[in-house]
Amino acid sequence: MTSMIFNHFYGEDVCSTADEVEALFHKDLDGANEFIISSDSDAQYPCLSVLVNGNFAYLLYMPFDSSMGAGFQAYGEDEDGFELDPDDITVFYINTPTEEQEISNEYVCSREKAIEVILAFMKYDEWPTHYEDLPDCVEWEEL
């Protein structure tokens, strides 16, 4: 697995194993955190942004800066036991533990699914630049 740099509300951590990622995802403030994940501390892109609140998560992958496109967001889960009203929203927090970001439930998945996606990214030698190369454990939408 490739080591990844996780910037979040509490600072920066480097994870190189599934156990380290799992442990890091317990660092939150009242259940919320924002993780900006990259494989290179000197480069802003590519990066994976993961917002968490309680048992829910939102995933946004940015393979390049916004001048080349907005990136890709993961669709939410359509599995038994994961029941969010697709016409409603979930509140997450970005930049600070108090700055709210509303996300359509259509794009909200479980925290466990977010960890699965992160671990899939950690298996790449080089992060993808095309839709068809993204981890297939979730469906992605190009923005």
The tens digit of pLDDT for each residue in 29-48 reads: 888 999 999 988 777 789 99
Average pLDDT, the chain: 90
Q: Is the pLDDT of residue 68 over 70?
A: no
Q: Which amino acid is at 87?
A: D
The tens digit of pLDDT for each residue in 94-120 reads: 999 999 999 999 999 999 999 999 999
Decide: helix, strand or coil at residue 83.
coil
pTM of the predicted model as reported, rounded to 2 decimal places: 0.92
In the chain, what is the straight-line distance between the N-terminal and C-terminal CA atoms, in Å? 28
What is the model's pLDDT at position 67?
61
Cis peptide before 46 (omega within 30 of 0): yes
What is the model's pLDDT at position 102?
97
The residue length of the chain stands at 143
Question: Of residues 72 and 27, which shows the higher confidence score?
Answer: 72
Percent of the chain with pLDDT over 70: 94
Assign 80 a pLDDT band (cuts: 50, 70, 90).
low
